[in-house]
Amino acid sequence: MSYTITRTDDIDACLALRRAVFIDEQNVPEDIEMDDLDDVAVHLLATDETGAPAGTARLLFAGETGKIGRVCVLKEHRGTGLGADLIRHSVEILKATDGLTRAKLGAQAHAVGFYEKLGFSVCGPEYMDAGIPHYDMDMPL
């Protein structure tokens, strides 16, 4: 299956994906998942060949750091390489953004190896976020 990843203003599609994965599947409380940062973020939307939403990511900017977050792929699209493509696309956007020198993300503990293969390194101790173990990871841009 092939996917298209684009910047989007269709925040509702991104929120629906995040609801399906984080709230419904992983039991993240809605008040933690849905925040006021969506209004200032760059949103990426991945669609499948039929145009249906399949995954999303959110980019935030703070000083010299670009933060990749809220990365999710619907269950039926996992294992296709879409998650890695979302991260690579996010990193390319961050590299093209003036003034950024570092990409950062908060990885669920089970996904650390996935992000390491994409060039990220753990840069802090394990912590809990929404009841799920995480590690901060970063990479130079």
For the chain, which residues make up each domain, given as ranges? 4-140
pTM: 0.95
- Highest CATH level, class, for 4-140: alpha beta
**Confidence at 19, pLDDT banded by 50, 70, 90:** very high
d(CA 53, CA 10): 10
d(CA 81, CA 1): 10
Please give the single-letter amino acid code of residue 7. Answer: R
Please give the single-letter amino acid code of residue 8. Answer: T
Q: Is the pLDDT of residue 23 over 90?
A: yes
Q: Is the pLDDT of residue 137 over 90?
A: yes
Question: How confident is the prediction for the chain on average, in pLDDT?
Answer: 96
Q: What is the DSSP letter of 19?
A: I
d(CA 55, CA 46): 5
Q: Is the pLDDT of residue 94 over 90?
A: yes
Q: Residue 116 contacts by C-beta under 8 Å, 6 or more apart in sequence?
A: 122, 137
